[in-house]
Amino acid sequence: MSAKLTRLALFAGALFLLAGSADAASFNCAKAKTPDEKAICANPALSDLDTQMAALFGVRMKVPMLMGSRGAAGDEQVQWLQTRGSCGANVACLTGVYKARINTINSELDAAMQDYCVKLGICG
């Protein structure tokens, strides 16, 4: 495995560990104003999903193979925040939109890493 791919994998792994151990949402709960933000801050499981999604989005925005699509990713995130907002304080709805967003970002990262690996000729 190349040194660059190894560093990227280690960086992503570190962010996953940090996301898994976080106690709070990815935003300042003292400033939560909307029903969705308040629900996230009040629910540890939603807060964990929020932190995980934010960490993955941060990684996604730094992966060199995806740099060309940063603008589109930012637009998708704005649209996703609007979708999250439409859930209001509905925990089931919020859980669903978080899980879907996390799956989408994971798929983008997996595809980019696989493509990179194939281009380097280090995987099959």
Whether the predicted pLDDT of 43 surpasses 70: yes
Higher-confidence residue of 64 and 87: namely 87
- The pTM (predicted TM-score) of the whole model is 0.74
- 63-86 mean pLDDT: 84
Q: How high is the pLDDT of residue 42?
A: 96
Task: Report residue 12's pLDDT band, with 50, 70 and 90 as the boundaries.
Answer: low
What separation in angstroms does the CA of 45 have from each of 29, 50, 63, 67, 95?
A: 15, 9, 27, 31, 8
Q: How high is the pLDDT of residue 67?
A: 64
Choose the most confident range, by mean pLDDT, from 13-17, 105-109, 115-119.
105-109
Higher-confidence residue of 7 and 87: namely 87
- 67-85 mean pLDDT: 86
Report the 10 Å Cβ neighbour count for 86.
Answer: 11
Whether the predicted pLDDT of 120 surpasses 80: no
Q: How high is the pLDDT of residue 60?
A: 85
